[in-house]
Copies of this chain bind each other. A is one copy, B any other.
Amino acid sequence: MDCPISVKVCEDDFDVGHETAVLQHAKPDVGAVVNFVGYVRNINDGETVSALELEHYPAMTEKSISDIAIQAREKWDLLGIQIIHRVGRLAPEDQIVYVGVASKHRLEAFTACEFIMDYLKTQAPFWKKESTPNGDRWVDAREKDNTALARWD
């Protein structure tokens, strides 16, 4: 079964409705699309966040995300995967990341979307730096993201 994969890493914002429509367009066997959208929160670890700077490793980022999508496609019966991750300067309430998965039935789309997010969070070379009233700070990796990853072993 054909499962196209699209990966974009860019500064531009994205349109969830459009991405969802693309995933399902002209694929009458799609019964389910699951979308994840991540946003910049205005508070993190108890501090007000006024802006976020997203750094990445350009030569590696898209390949690393594509590898995750290919793993998902090999594990589950999927009909389409679209991933967008923004980089550069973002403000609270901005969209950061979109992961959309299409499949015949809902279980595969839910599972694959969670799998991709868990891998993306712990494997793809992005780093967040927050601006707070006490200055800028690099966001620390969270232990619970590694715990989330372990469930796929």
- Which residues of A does B touch, CB under 8 Å? 15-18, 20-21, 24, 28-39, 41-43, 92-93, 104, 106-107, 109-110, 113-114, 117, 148
Contacts and interface: CB of A to CB of B under 8 A. Distances in A.
A102 to B, nearest CB: 9
A81 B54 CA distance: 29
Nearest to A36: B34
A38 B31 contact: yes
A91 to B, nearest CB: 10
Nearest to A18: B17
A41 B30 CA distance: 6
B32 A37 contact: yes
A8 to B, nearest CB: 17
Given A15-B17, A17-B20, A24-B93, A35 B37 contact: yes
A39 B34 contact: no
A38 B102 CA distance: 10
Contact of A31 (B15, B21, B30, B39): B39
A18 B15 CA distance: 10
